[in-house]
């Protein structure tokens, strides 16, 4: 199995060359640009995995604590870190705790149904997976494990542009799963077009355009750890394995000139619904509706881009009000409990997405860890619904919410 110290850049992807694949393992680049000191740590981590006795994991933060033990410091910092002083990253969680619930009783809650529909597709609960790059950092099978767990849980998995497994492998390993594809719009239009056509033909059901990364945020941990974001990068070729010519992502990068007017070009080359990820204001929400996108993910990239922006849950209300029910609104950032899911839906989100908790699950137990993270959260959400008197997600509304006066 190829395991590497990996270097990440927001604009680069990496992967093995054709032929580097070993049966049953993902394609990972072998050129290490993650600091050398981490090389052996990954091996130590692997042996720790075998020795650590099975622990009961009862909530998402149990996975966080164990993941920290199991990952190398550089990898942990990369996954966990926020931008700047980490204020928004912390606030994503703290803001949920300022909201109190108003339960209603004496309703028949003997049957509670967590199922819902996003973009016309049924899912078992409004709890899905945000795009995060480089899952092979957390577990050798990387995105293939994530995809299988998402399929088993019957929820949506947004695959990142920077997946460390090929899109073909991800689809092959979980062919029945609901998948959306997250695109960082590249400077090279032809490359965007090829990638979009490829995900469309692979059966991805929506295109998620991340708008909050014209450049990478200032991530101090990565700088301190000398994670070099600009050099020594080996990029996975995002072209289809069948394509022998045409542009290659290696020569390209995220396009900071991308703007509202460019959406019409994207819309002209795909039939897929387009969802904008990273919207935080009513002004941009109104523009999104005006430009005929099909959905918005209210998100601050888990506090990894601009520090001191609003917590996601604090931005949700103005975005929901601005779109006036014309398109679906989702949220990610700081979801750690079933109550967080309930509060998000009460304030107008159709569904929430998880970033870091999925990587914690992967780091602890691979596919099984992701399944457990999803199941724990789904069970907590079921309990939250039951104890507030909501028998279906349609019954979750603004009346459940009391903003704390503290």
Let me know: does 315 contact 298? Beta carbons within 8 Å.
yes
Q: Phi, psi (5° rounding) for residue 71?
A: -95, 155
CA–CA separation, 48 vs 254, rounded Å? 37
CA–CA separation, 363 vs 162, rounded Å? 18
Hey, which residues between 356 and 385 contact ligand FNR (CB under 6 A)?
356
CB nearer to ligand FNR: pick between 356 and 390: 356
Q: Which of 332, 371, 372, 380 is in the footprint of ligand FNR by CB under 6 A?
A: 332
Integer distance in angstroms from the first to the last C-alpha of the chain?
53
Q: Does 334 bind ligand FNR (CB under 6 A)?
A: yes
Q: Does 159 bind ligand FNR (CB under 6 A)?
A: no
Hey, which residues between 35 and 74 contact ligand FNR (CB under 6 A)?
none
Let me know: does 277 contact 297? Beta carbons within 8 Å.
yes
Q: Which of 74, 92, 166, 225 is in the footprint of ligand FNR by CB under 6 A?
A: 92
Q: Which of 130, 164, 166, 337 is in the footprint of ligand FNR by CB under 6 A?
A: 130
Q: Does 354 bind ligand FNR (CB under 6 A)?
A: yes
Segment lying near ligand FNR (by CB under 6 A), choices 18-26, 239-247, 250-258, 331-339: 331-339
Q: Which of 132, 151, 166, 384 is in the footprint of ligand FNR by CB under 6 A?
A: 132
Q: Does 88 bind ligand FNR (CB under 6 A)?
A: no
Segment lying near ligand FNR (by CB under 6 A), choices 12-20, 297-305, 370-378, 383-391: 297-305
Q: Which of 10, 135, 221, 301 is catalytic?
A: 301
CB nearer to ligand FNR: pick between 39 and 77: 77
Shortest separation between residue 212's beta carbon and ligand FNR, angstroms? 8
Q: Does 160 bind ligand FNR (CB under 6 A)?
A: yes
CB nearer to ligand FNR: pick between 279 and 390: 279
Rg (alpha carbons) of the chain, rounded to whole number? 20
Q: Does 299 bind ligand FNR (CB under 6 A)?
A: yes
CA–CA separation, 182 vs 214, rounded Å? 15
Q: Does 236 bind ligand FNR (CB under 6 A)?
A: no
Let me know: does 229 contact 216? Beta carbons within 8 Å.
yes
Q: Does 337 bind ligand FNR (CB under 6 A)?
A: no
The Cα angle at residue 17 between residues 164 and 48, in degrees rounded to 5 = 45
Q: Which of 198, 277, 350, 378 is in the footprint of ligand FNR by CB under 6 A?
A: 277
Shortest separation between residue 236's beta carbon and ligand FNR, angstroms? 13
Segment lying near ligand FNR (by CB under 6 A), choices 38-46, 68-76, 126-134, 322-330: 126-134
Let me know: does 326 contact 102? Beta carbons within 8 Å.
no
CB nearer to ligand FNR: pick between 295 and 334: 334
**Which residue minimizes CB distance to ligand FNR?**
355
Q: Does 333 bind ligand FNR (CB under 6 A)?
A: yes
CA–CA separation, 267 vs 256, rounded Å? 19
Shortest separation between residue 132's beta carbon and ligand FNR, angstroms? 4
CB nearer to ligand FNR: pick between 228 and 395: 228
Q: Does 126 bind ligand FNR (CB under 6 A)?
A: no
Q: Does 145 bind ligand FNR (CB under 6 A)?
A: no
Beta bridge partners of 279: 298
Tell me, yes or no, if 301 is annotated catalytic.
Answer: yes
Residues contacting ligand FNR: total by CB under 6 A: 22
CB nearer to ligand FNR: pick between 79 and 170: 79
Q: Does 301 bind ligand FNR (CB under 6 A)?
A: yes
CB nearer to ligand FNR: pick between 72 and 130: 130
Alpha carbon 52 to chain centroid, angstroms: 28
Catalytic residues: 301
- Residues lying near ligand FNR in the complex (CB under 6 A) are found at 79, 92, 130-133, 160, 162, 182, 210, 277, 299, 301-302, 304, 332-335, 354-356
């Amino acid at each position: 199995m190829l395991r590497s110290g990996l270097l990440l850049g927001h604009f680069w992807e990496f992967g093995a060359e054709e032929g580097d694949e070993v049966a049953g393992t993902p394609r990972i680049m072998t050129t290490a640009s993650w600091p050398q000191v981490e090389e052996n740590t990954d091996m130590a981590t692997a042996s720790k995995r075998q020795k650590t006795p099975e622990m009961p994991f009862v909530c998402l933060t149990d996975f966080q604590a164990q993941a920290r033990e199991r990952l190398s410091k550089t990898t942990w910092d990369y996954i966990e870190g926020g931008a700047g002083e980490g204020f928004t990253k912390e606030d994503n969680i703290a803001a949920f705790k300022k909201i109190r619930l108003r339960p209603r009783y004496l309703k028949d809650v003997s049957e509670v149904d967590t199922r819902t529909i996003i973009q016309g597709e049924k899912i078992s609960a409004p709890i899905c997976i945000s795009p995060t790059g480089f899952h092979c950092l957390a577990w050798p099978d990387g995105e293939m494990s994530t995809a299988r767990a998402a399929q088993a849980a019957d929820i949506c998995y947004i695959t990142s542009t920077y997946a460390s497994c090929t899109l073909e492998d991800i689809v092959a390993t979980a062919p029945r799963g609901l998948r959306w594809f997250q695109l960082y719009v590249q400077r090279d239009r032809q490359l965007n077009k090829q990638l979009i056509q490829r995900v469309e033909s692979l059966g991805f059901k929506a295109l998620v355009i991340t708008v909050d990364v014209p450049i990478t945020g200032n991530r101090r941990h990565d700088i301190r750890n000398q994670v070099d974001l600009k050099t020594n990068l080996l990029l996975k070729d995002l072209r289809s394995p069948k394509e022998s010519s045409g542009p290659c992502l290696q020569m390209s990068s995220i396009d900071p000139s991308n703007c509202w007017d460019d959406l019409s070009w994207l819309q002209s080359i795909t039939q897929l619904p387009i969802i904008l990820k990273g919207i935080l204001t009513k002004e941009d929400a109104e523009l999104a509706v005006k430009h005929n996108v099909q959905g918005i993910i209210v998100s601050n990239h888990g506090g990894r881009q601009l520090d001191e922006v609003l917590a996601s849950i604090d931005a949700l209300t103005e975005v929901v009000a601005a779109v006036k029910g014309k398109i679906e609104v989702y949220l990610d950032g700081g979801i750690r409990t079933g109550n967080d899911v309930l509060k998000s839906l009460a304030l107008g989100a159709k569904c929430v997405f998880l970033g870091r908790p999925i990587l914690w699950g992967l780091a602890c137990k691979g596919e099984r860890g992701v399944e457990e993270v999803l199941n724990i959260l789904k069970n907590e959400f079921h309990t939250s619904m039951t104890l507030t008197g909501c028998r279906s997600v349609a019954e979750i509304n603004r009346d459940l919410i009391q903003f704390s006066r503290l």
